[in-house]
Amino acid sequence: MYYATGRRKESTARVYLKPGKGEIIINDKPLDDYFRMREIYRIKVRKPLEVLGLNNKYKVECYVKGGGTTGQAEAISLGIARCLAQISEEYKKILRKYDLLTRDPREVERKHYNRHKARKAHQWHKR
């Protein structure tokens, strides 16, 4: 069994990879139930396995919390990729080539005082 953590924005995913038949379980729900709203999230989560052609060789069990659906999907994807990189150096090279082992560092900028949001200012008026 392999374990890795993936993070993106405010989301954190704990990913466990075991030999199995290719099922992906997120917070005790199947992948298709957890991300039923958009196909792109399901594709994003499966991508590390598809790149290596290991769709039906491992069972993925993960627990994700925080953030929204986009951040959670990308955190799970990073966690799966890190688990697969532990298995073999060859896998690691392929995943690196597809940019699946890089953590996206972008975070939400904090709100500043005297502004509506982080960047948006109050409407200017002459008098």
Q: pLDDT (tens digit, 0 to 9) for every residue of the chain, 127 residues total?
A: 999 999 999 999 999 999 999 899 999 999 999 999 899 999 999 999 999 998 889 999 999 999 999 999 999 999 999 999 999 899 999 999 999 999 999 999 999 999 999 999 999 888 8
- Give the model's pLDDT for residue 16: 95
Reading the block at residue 63, the tokens are 């627990």
Kindly state whether residue 127 falls inside one of the protein's structural domains: no
Whether 16 is covered by a domain: the verdict is: yes
Three-state SS at 36: coil
The answer to whether residue 6 is domain-embedded is: yes
Please report the pLDDT score of residue 55 as a whole number. 86
- For residue 7, is it within any domain? yes
List of E strands, the chain:
2-8, 11-19, 24-26, 29-30, 58-65
Number of structural domains, the chain? 1
Determine the pLDDT at residue 70.
94
Q: Of 25, 20, 22, 117, whose CA–CA distance to 76 is shortest? A: 25
- CATH number for the domain spanning 75: value is 3.30.230.10
19 found inside a domain: yes
Full residue range of the structural domain in which residue 90 is found: 2-97
**0.85 cut: is pTM over it?**
yes
For residue 51, what pLDDT is reported?
Answer: 92
